[in-house]
Amino acid sequence: MENSRVYLASDIQKALSLGRSKTYQFLEEVYQKQEPFRVIRVGKLLRVPQKSFDDWLNAEK
């Protein structure tokens, strides 16, 4: 994952070890709810703010 303020769908795919279709399905669901992290839609593109995703991924419950 590169040094930017948002993750691409491909970054999320690698981080979660998901297939491409499952990644987009998951991101679409998260976009609708804006939980457990934020997803931004720019046209057809989905972007995930790094801090929001990293906080969710590293959360200890």
pLDDT single digits (tens) 19-58: 999 999 999 999 999 999 999 999 999 999 999 999 999 9
6-8 β-sheet, strand order? 6-8, 45-49, 40-42
- Reference 12, options 43, 31, 60; nearest CA is 31
pLDDT single digits (tens) 5-20: 999 999 999 999 999 9
Is 1 part of a structural domain of the chain? no
**Separation CA 60–CA 31 (nearest Å):** 23
Scanning 3-49, the segments in alpha helix (DSSP H) are 9-16, 20-33
Please state the domain count of the chain.
1
pTM: 0.86
- Reference 27, options 15, 43, 17, 38; nearest CA is 38
